Amino acid sequence: MKTSSLKWLYPIFIFSIFIFFIPMQTLLLEPFKFGGIKPDLGLILSYLIGLGWGRNRGLFWGLLLGGVQDLFSIGFVGPHLVFKGLIGFGTGLLETFFLYFSLQAHAIVVFLISLIHDLLGEILFHGESYSLMGISYGMLGRGVYNSVIVMAIIFLVLKQSRLEEFLIVKGGR
């Protein structure tokens, strides 16, 4: 299947992200909490969009999703915007390098990105009351949760398409 035949899906994707992103993050994921931990859908989507569509769309969607998350959160406006934008841009920048990763490597990368994201947020915005020894189980749990979701999505995408075709379209081979 050619990439150009899927262009009609992009506006539907944009509309569904705007309509469902915040309700999913806040309301629909409540039953799927493990030990009070929910996954970070903005981080997951920024990573996957950067991986699938490149650095420009990764940056745009990272900024957009992070901005929406910041608008509906209690804290400062800006940290999610910057972090998610950098995640989308960085993943898109290293897109062809990431295509050769195994599922386990993607899981490790997402776990580390999630951990760094949470640590930077705590250090920069709760600086004086936070010590570096305080890596909470919530941060580690969210990293594992995000990794499992990304692995499942990448597995399903690669299972549906032939890996060789995917690599050729993306310029990996």
Structure tokens at 166: 């995917």
pLDDT-derived band at 161, boundaries 50, 70, 90:
low
Considering the domain boundaries, does residue 47 fall inside one? yes
Query: Which of 5-14, 52-61, 115-124, 151-160 tops mean pLDDT?
Result: 52-61
Considering the domain boundaries, does residue 3 fall inside one? no
Structure-model confidence comparison of residues 131 and 119, the more confident one? 119
Burial class (CB in 10 A: 0-12, 13-18, 19+), 107: buried
Please tell me the predicted confidence (pLDDT) of residue 135.
65
Considering the domain boundaries, does residue 20 fall inside one? no
Considering the domain boundaries, does residue 14 fall inside one? no
Considering the domain boundaries, does residue 75 fall inside one? yes
pLDDT-derived band at 37, boundaries 50, 70, 90:
confident
Which residues, other chains included, contact 25 with Cβ-Cβ below 8 Å and sequence gap of 6+?
38, 41, 42, 69
Considering the domain boundaries, does residue 10 fall inside one? no
Query: Cα separation of 149 and 147, whole Å?
Result: 5
pLDDT-derived band at 1, boundaries 50, 70, 90:
very low
Mean pLDDT value of segment 121-131: 67
User: pTM for the complete prediction?
Assistant: 0.78
Which residues, other chains included, contact 8 with Cβ-Cβ below 8 Å and sequence gap of 6+?
none
Structure-model confidence comparison of residues 31 and 85, the more confident one? 85
Q: Rounded mean pLDDT of the chain?
A: 78
Please tell me the predicted confidence (pLDDT) of residue 112.
94
Is it the case that residue 83 has pLDDT exceeding 60? yes
Considering the domain boundaries, does residue 146 fall inside one? yes
Is it the case that residue 156 has pLDDT exceeding 50? yes
Residue 103 is part of which domain span? 35-170
Q: Three-class SS of residue 37?
A: strand
Task: Kindly report, residue by residue over 54-72, the tens digit of the pLDDT.
Answer: 889 889 989 988 888 888 7
Please tell me the predicted confidence (pLDDT) of residue 124.
76
Considering the domain boundaries, does residue 18 fall inside one? no
Is it the case that residue 110 has pLDDT exceeding 90? yes
- Tell me, letter by letter, the H, E, C secondary structure of 41-98: HHHHHHHHHHHHHCHHHHHHHHHHHHHHHHHCCCCCCCHHHHHHHHHHHHHHHCHHHH
- Total number of domains in the chain: 1
Query: Cα separation of 23 and 21, whole Å?
Result: 6
